[in-house]
Amino acid sequence: MSHHPLLIVKARHVVRHSHLSNVDKQLMYERIPFLDLGMLALFIDSAEENPFALDAIVSSMKKKLDARGNLHRLHEILETEAKEIEARDSEDTDETKVESEDESKLVAH
């Protein structure tokens, strides 16, 4: 963690100035130093861009922590995440297809 102290400071700053409760802030503070560089950059990027991402990260994290180290439960959570992402990706692709078709129709007319 000492390889990217500035990013850690920045991430903490983002959390400190967020609307999260003190308990949730603490939850983040404790773990931020152990994120790898790429994750840390993405975390700052997403949190700065969308303040609600923080709520979602906390919520997701709590769900995983609630597994209390049970690997079977963690496995289920990650499976659910994978399905959620795949479902979301499919929706986005469908939306894009519809938009493209609409555009084609407009061009044709």
Partner 1 sequence: MREQFHKPQDEFVAAYGGDEGVAFEPTAPQGEQEGGYEGEVGGKESEAQAFLERHSSEERKLAEDIVGAIEGISNQLESEHIVSREMAAESMIATAFAAAPTSGVEDGETSLWKSVLRGASLGARNAVKAVALTSMMSASPAFAQDYMHPSPQIQKKVDYLFGKNIFERFANKRASYKEAYTQLEMHKEEVQHRIDELNDPRPRSTAEEAHIKRVEADRDAKLAALRVERTLEKAAFEDLHTNDPTERAEYDARIAAIAAREARVVEDCEALLLAEHRKAAPQQELQDLYREIVRIEREENELVRRFYALKRSAYGSYWSRW
Question: Looking only at residues 59 through 88 of this chain, which bind partner 1 when binding is defined by CB under 8 A?
Answer: 59-61, 63-65, 68-72, 74-75, 78-79, 81-82, 84-86, 88
* Residue 49 lies near partner 1 (rule: CB under 8 A): yes
* Residue 101 lies near partner 1 (rule: CB under 8 A): no
Compute the distance between CA of residue 104 and CA of residue 98 in angstroms, rounded to an integer. 10
Size of the site for partner 1 (CB under 8 A): 48
Q: Is 37 left (phi over 0), alpha (psi -120 to 50) or beta?
A: alpha
Compute the distance between CA of residue 10 and CA of residue 13 in angstroms, rounded to an integer. 5
User: Tokens 């861009």 belong to which residue?
Assistant: 49
Q: Would you state the torsion angle of the CA atoms of residues 77, 26, 11, 82, taken in this order, to the nearest 10 degrees?
A: 0
Q: Which of 21, 36, 98, 102 binds partner 1 (CB under 8 A)?
A: 36
Minimum CB separation of residue 105 from partner 1 in Å reads 14
Contact 19/5 with Cβ under 8 angstroms? no
User: Quick one: how far is CA 100 from the chain centroid?
Assistant: 28
* Residue 37 lies near partner 1 (rule: CB under 8 A): no
Binding site for partner 1 (CB under 8 A): 1-2, 29-31, 33-36, 38-39, 42-43, 46, 49-50, 52-53, 55-57, 59-61, 63-65, 68-72, 74-75, 78-79, 81-82, 84-86, 88-89, 92, 95-96, 99-100
